[in-house]
Structure 1
């Protein structure tokens, strides 16, 4: 692994830790972190009230870069991974699903975008 890749990995881990702390402070209960599925990894899985929330964390130099870094293919992959993760957990099937985004930018508080995208609804894609 190159030095640049190791640094990017360390930034990503830091951003995920910061996002977890931010969400827990807001009342979310963390269910999983770096959840691995056959479709790929989900950064964070949390519950708040009647919502099961799948959260992608993006750390970039600017918020615009963070938003640009999650395209339609990545959103579709996360949606597939969420279905796989949820399938064996029947106790969570009654919850509403939501896909959130946490943007982490140096020198700023994390920005939590609830319902950042709605699967299958291109009109509401990445709000």
Structure 2
């Protein structure tokens, strides 16, 4: 791996972490309680786990050049992984068993306010 590639990768990871912190702050301003950051499960990582009332939000955070690009960045495979990871969390945390689980997206773009899409991917 070249030095330039390592540098780009480190910059991307830092940008992603900053985006997650900004997204968490945005959710807290909206009354959510953050239960986990970069939460690892055997089925995949959850960027943010947040709760407001009886709603448990499994939040994917995407930062791209535009909000539309961020919205389009989550593949069907990633959505399925998020659903499996959410089911795992609910199964293993008894306090969350009665929560209504929802997959949310926070899209970030430079110079724009974060965009929070509740229940971003409703499957038919």
Query: What's the Cα RMSD here?
Result: 1.0
Deviation at 1:77, TM superposition (A): 0.6
Deviation at 1:91, TM superposition (A): 1.6
* Aligned residue pairs, count: 120
Confirm or deny that 1:71 pairs with 2:75.
Answer: yes
Deviation at 1:98, TM superposition (A): 0.6
More deviation, 83-92/37-46: 83-92
Segments of 5+ residues of structure 1 without an aligned counterpart are 123-127
Tell me the equivalent position of 1:125: none
TM-score normalised by the chain length of structure 1: 0.90
TM-score normalised by the chain length of structure 2: 0.93
Aligned match for 1:87, one of 80, 84, 91: 91
CA distance in 1, matches of 2:37, 2:55: 17
Runs of 4+ with deviation above 2 angstroms: none
CA distance in 2, matches of 1:20, 1:91: 21
CA distance in 2, matches of 1:99, 1:9: 22
